[in-house]
């Protein structure tokens, strides 16, 4: 059983003359222990795809299954619980709360999910690997885009989710940091047996992927 399975997914926005079909009959599966990379230019539907895969958005038609459960059967509350317990999102907007320091962002995660998170030592190692361990008392607006991006990555990994869905996680990073993040995500897949799905236009991440897909004009095709 695949951890995530998308079957015949269509997504449209708008009606009449303003109607756009962003995803066209998309089929996709993600498995444990693998990093899947979805490449596509800006506007090709990457974020739409990822948010549908994680239940943040519903498709116009088609089925999303997470660990064999159909998401459409879930109530909003059940979907929230599923995300909290199983899915780590790295969103394009970073989604960090402006009034919390880095340390407090992690404390907030711990308040919502009390068990199964990384230990304090594991978290410190992760922050060091990402080069952000000196920033724990900083607020979002006191950090660069790249630093915010790395905090967002650490926050997604901290609860030990089985599934990691990352939207352009390296957009604000220089090549050295891309390597660190690529290796980290790969390690999460291989060592920790997680399912990792990354959507991006960053070709530098190709080297870390088990599977590579192209999203073009709403159609997903497998390349590797
Ligand atoms: P990408 O992440 O690849 O840049 P998106 O998934 O964000 O692409 O967007 C794909 C297309 O869908 C774009 O043309 C965008 O304008 C459109 N779109 C995305 N979300 C909405 C929405 N909520 N309402 C209307 N159009 C949308
Ligand atoms: Mg996007």
Which CATH number covers residue 197? 3.40.50.300
Mean pLDDT of all residues in 68-83: 89
Neighbours of 87 (CB within 10 A): 24
Closest C-alpha residue for ligand 1 atom 14: 43
Name the closest ligand to CA 51.
1
What are the distances in angstroms from CA 102 to CA 135, 147, 222?
7, 10, 38
Predicted pLDDT at 159: 94
Predicted pLDDT at 206: 96
Neighbours of 210 (CB within 10 A): 16
**Within 6 Å (CB) of ligand 1, which residues are found?**
13-14, 20, 22, 40, 42-48
Q: How far is the CA of 48 from the centre of ligand 1 (A)?
A: 6
| Backbone phi, psi, residue 214, to 5° | -115, 130
Q: How far is the CA of 122 from the centre of ligand 2 (A)?
A: 30
Closest C-alpha residue for ligand 1 atom 22: 13
- Please compute Rg for the chain using Cα positions: 17
Q: Which helix (H) or strand (E) holds 185?
A: helix 175-190
Contact 197, 166 (CB under 8 A): yes
Predicted pLDDT at 84: 86
Ligand 1 atom having least distance to the Cα of 92: 2
Q: What is the mean pLDDT of the chain?
A: 94
Closest C-alpha residue for ligand 1 atom 7: 47
Q: What is the pLDDT of residues 156-205, one digit of tens each?
A: 999 999 999 999 999 888 999 999 999 999 999 998 899 999 999 999 99
Q: How far is the CA of 115 from the centre of ligand 2 (A)?
A: 31
Mean pLDDT of all residues in 52-75: 93
Q: What is the pLDDT of residues 99-158, one digit of tens each?
A: 999 999 999 999 999 999 999 999 999 999 999 999 999 999 999 999 999 999 999 999
Domain extent for 37? 4-222
What pTM did the predictor assign?
A: 0.94
Helix (H, G, I), strand (E, B) or coil at 6: strand
Contact 176, 208 (CB under 8 A): no
Which of 51, 58, 86 has its CA nearest to residue 72? 58
Q: What angle do CA 175, 178, 179 make, to 5 degrees?
A: 90
* pLDDT of 94 strictly over 80: no
Mutation to probe ligand 1, out of 9, 21, 37, 45 (largest number of atoms < 8 A from CB): 45
Mean pLDDT of all residues in 39-54: 95
Number of compact structural domains in the chain: 1
Predicted pLDDT at 146: 92
Q: How far is the CA of 13 from the centre of ligand 1 (A)?
A: 8
pLDDT band at 72 (very low <50, low <70, confident <90, very high): confident
Closest C-alpha residue for ligand 1 atom 21: 13
Contact 177, 170 (CB under 8 A): yes
Ligand 1 atom having least distance to the Cα of 49: 6
């Amino acid at each position: 059983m695949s951890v995530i399975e998308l079957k015949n997914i269509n997504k449209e926005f708008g009606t009449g003359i303003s109607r756009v079909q962003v995803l066209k009959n998309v089929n996709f599966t993600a498995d444990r222990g693998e990093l899947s990379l979805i490449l596509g230019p800006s506007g090709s539907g990457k974020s739409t795809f990822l948010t549908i895969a994680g239940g943040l958005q519903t498709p116009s038609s088609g089925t999303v299954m997470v660990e064999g459960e159909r998401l459409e059967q879930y109530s909003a509350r059940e979907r929230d619980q599923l995300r909290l317990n199983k899915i780590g999102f790295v969103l394009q907007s970073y989604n960090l709360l402006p009034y919390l320091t880095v340390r407090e962002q992690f404390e907030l995660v711990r308040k919502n999910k009390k068990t199964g998170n990384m230990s304090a030592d594991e978290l410190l190692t992760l922050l060091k690997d990402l080069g952000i361990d000196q920033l724990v008392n900083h607020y979002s607006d006191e950090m660069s885009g790249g630093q915010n991006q790395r905090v967002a990555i650490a926050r997604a990994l901290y609860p030990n989710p089985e599934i990691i869905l990352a939207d352009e996680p390296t957009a604000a990073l220089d090549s050295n940091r891309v390597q660190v993040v690529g290796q980290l995500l790969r390690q999460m897949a291989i060592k920790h047996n997680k399912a990792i799905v990354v959507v991006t236009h960053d070709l530098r991440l190709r080297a870390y992927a088990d599977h590579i897909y192209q999203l073009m004009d709403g159609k997903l095709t497998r390349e590797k």
